[in-house]
Amino acid sequence: MPIKPAHRLAMLPPYLFADLDRKRKEAMARGVDVIDLGIGDPDRPTPAAVVEAMVEAVRDPATHRYPSYDGMPAFRRAAADFMKRRFGVALDPDTQICALIGSKEGIAHAPLALINPEDPVLYPSPGYPVYRVATIFAGGTPIPMPLRAENDWLPDFAAIPKSAASRATLMYLNYPNNPTGATADLAFFARAVAFAREHNHVLLHDAAYSEIGFDGYRAPSILQTPGALDLAAEFHSLSKTANMTGWRIGFVAGCADIVRAIGKVKTNIDSGAFEAVQRAAITALNLPDAVYREINETYRERRDVAIAGLRKAGIDAQPPRATFYVWFPAPGGDSAKFAQDLLERTGVVVTPGVGFGPEGEGYARIALCRERARLEEAMARIARA
């Protein structure tokens, strides 16, 4: 008999990066020399000290058993120490930290823990697609908060319809921002916390790119805002910052009630992170600042190559202060057509802005995750086209 998928699956667009991967593979099958600037997957190796810690941990049979759901005490302490050292935020590792199998897991499970069917959820658009998808899976109603250039890619809380603001139970934010590379300061976070408090929202901040900054910029944490620990939690990940995308390790930190709710979902439908990975992550959380400065300097150099190349091609691209993305106007305004034409004419893959939500139309994103020589070649091809 025919299998009928759940109705909620019909509400989902094709997952952006899966579609990009399909098109990339089709081009490669035709013999095209593809330069993939689409997906934000660091190309540099994980720091050697982290790899060595992992090797040692894997050899210990104690790590081969089921891990605890909320994470090893040592990992949670290391996460709490990181938050204190980096942001000056004091957290209880037993109640305000929970280990995650990558921050995506916690971001996706949060609506299951925190909203009821049909509850509106405010999310940034353009934005990471998981915010909207997770809301749909939980039976909620996703309400986009448009991010626009004229507002420095920050949501305008005053423009949110009062009916949506009053009924919403949860709001996602993400700074430094994917896909735009925009940043937020503590004054903005104070406005966000005040808005959430006024409307009884749970506030979830995706801080996956907090450690990738240039030109002296260091991102703040929303948890630094007075009163944030009453209603907010923040997701951190080692995927992007320590070149550990395949390792799947992160944590949620903040309001104990939020952390507990996400942990309860995790206990029932998920598993804990492999303890060997957690031990390696402890090393990553304590790497010398010099290691991260070297990683960021690599991205800064690539950023400058990309900005110069796009400007040479007549595209008004602005250099971001954070993330490893460059967000730029798509010539012609149709981002999907631009990305498709670019791939066919040059073999260069970029991400169409519309894939991050309708509000991303008219823009495209480059990920700076290729060696400088390949990035220079990609820019030369774009300029020729």
User: For the segment 233-256, what is each residue's pLDDT rounded down to a tens digit?
Assistant: 999 999 999 999 999 999 999 999
Domain of 181, CATH number, reads: 3.40.640.10
Q: How confident is the model at residue 9 (pLDDT cuts 50, 70, 90)?
A: confident
CA geometry: angle 78, 85, 277, nearest 5 deg: 25
User: Are both 56 and 132 inside the same structural domain?
Assistant: yes
Assess if residue 76 is contained within a domain: yes
pLDDT on residue 16: 64
Is 368:324 a contact under the CB 8 Å cutoff? Answer: yes
User: Are both 220 and 305 inside the same structural domain?
Assistant: no
User: Are both 99 and 16 inside the same structural domain?
Assistant: no
User: Are both 250 and 334 inside the same structural domain?
Assistant: no
pLDDT on residue 7: 86
User: Are both 273 and 243 inside the same structural domain?
Assistant: yes
- Distance CA(46)–CA(244), nearest Å, equals 6
User: Are both 152 and 19 inside the same structural domain?
Assistant: no
Look over the chain and give the mean of its residue pLDDT values, rounded to a whole number. Answer: 95
User: Are both 315 and 369 inside the same structural domain?
Assistant: yes
| 250-292: pLDDT as tens digits | 999 999 999 999 999 999 998 999 999 999 999 999 999 999 9
Residue 14 has pLDDT above 80, yes or no: no
pLDDT on residue 182: 98
Question: 310: domain range?
Answer: 7-44+290-384
| 138-156: pLDDT as tens digits | 999 999 999 999 999 999 9
User: Are both 212 and 317 inside the same structural domain?
Assistant: no
366 forms bridges with which residues in the sheet?
326
Is 78:212 a contact under the CB 8 Å cutoff? Answer: no
User: Are both 137 and 223 inside the same structural domain?
Assistant: yes
Looking at 237, 258, 285, the residue that finishes a domain is 285
pLDDT on residue 145: 98
Phi-psi bin for 339: left (phi > 0), alpha (psi -120 to 50), beta? alpha
Looking at 270, 285, 300, the residue that finishes a domain is 285
User: Are both 86 and 210 inside the same structural domain?
Assistant: yes
Token digits for 366?
């480059």
CA geometry: angle 374, 216, 249, nearest 5 deg: 65
122 forms bridges with which residues in the sheet?
143, 171
The candidate with the shortest Cα–Cα distance to 70, out of 97, 43, 88, 91, is 97
Looking at 285, 301, 333, the residue that finishes a domain is 285
User: Are both 136 and 269 inside the same structural domain?
Assistant: yes
Assess if residue 1 is contained within a domain: no
Q: How confident is the model at residue 22 (pLDDT cuts 50, 70, 90)?
A: confident
List helix spans (H) across the chain. Answer: 7-10, 16-29, 48-58, 73-87, 103-114, 130-137, 162-167, 186-199, 256-269, 275-285, 289-312, 335-346, 372-384
User: Are both 138 and 203 inside the same structural domain?
Assistant: yes
pLDDT on residue 277: 98
Rounded mean pLDDT of 62-73?
96
| 39-50: pLDDT as tens digits | 899 999 999 999
Is 83:223 a contact under the CB 8 Å cutoff? Answer: yes
Report the domain count for the chain. 2
| 315-371: pLDDT as tens digits | 999 999 999 999 999 999 999 999 989 999 999 999 999 999 999 999 999 999 999
